[in-house]
Amino acid sequence: MKLHAESLTRTYGKVNALDSLSLSLEARVLVLIGPSGGGKSTFLRLCGGLDEATSGLLSINDTPLAHDPARLLVWRRRNGFLFQQFNLFPHLTALENITLPLEKVHGNSKSVALDTARRCLNRFGLLAHAEKLPAQMSGGQQQRAGLARAIAANPEILLLDEPTSALDPEMTAEVLELIQELAAGGQHIILSTHEMGFAKAVADHVALIAAGKILETSPPTQLFGNPREEFTRRFLAKVMRFA
């Protein structure tokens, strides 16, 4: 996965969520860390084509994410998403939550969508819950269903925004193991997380974002073992104090 950002800015009113962010790297799994409100979610949304930059340049795998709604729509369809909230349709079963986008967004036939959805649910241990509504599933089951939906169309990139923030420790471990399995299988991933141990284990590049800028980026052994920036050292000292 090739990612290039140059002076990337996203402004909401008078607030710069991203402030001339620049980054150029190649990675299979890029993990974003940093303080809350620093710009990780905004950067992920821009990478997924869910939002547009106010100014600056962004390209992924040599695809410029330009201010063109039609091109952004094509780009969104090439990728998969999972966010802090489960975002499952509450009136649809786990199975229907997966088949609906496969049919309506990706143009699969009903039979192909059903086969794909069942295969994905089975992969994540959810086939027995296929006919349940989200409210009938635990938080971990809902997030696994969301992950199954995100990978059902074989996404070019999987974008995950704090995918375990709403889960208890047992469910967090369960979902992180699934993400690690996907990464080990070659899935390209951009992920934001506060789970530093997981970031060290799964990433081949880590970027620290704060105040709308990337302050440091390097392989995890370097960033966690010998960070260059004082801000990184202070941030890691805080978040890893009781790890």
Cα angle 186, 190, 151; round to 5: 55
Going by pLDDT thresholds of 50, 70 and 90, the confidence category of residue 58 is very high
- pTM greater than the 0.85 cutoff: yes
Give all domains of the chain, ordered by start, each with its CATH number.
1-79+157-243 (3.40.50.300), 89-154 (no CATH)
The two beta strands, 213-218 and 15-26, are unpaired
**pLDDT average, residue stretch 216-234:** 96
Which residues lie below 8 Å from residue 163, measured CB to CB, with a gap of 6+?
82, 83, 84, 143, 146, 147, 175, 179, 191, 193
Chain length of the chain: 243
Beta carbons of 25 and 1 less than 8 angstroms apart? no
Per-residue model confidence (pLDDT) at position 175:
83
Cα angle 35, 40, 44; round to 5: 165
**pLDDT average, residue stretch 154-179:** 87
pLDDT for 166 beyond 80: no
Closest CA to 157 of 81, 210, 228: 81
pLDDT for 159 beyond 80: yes
The two beta strands, 29-33 and 213-218, are unpaired
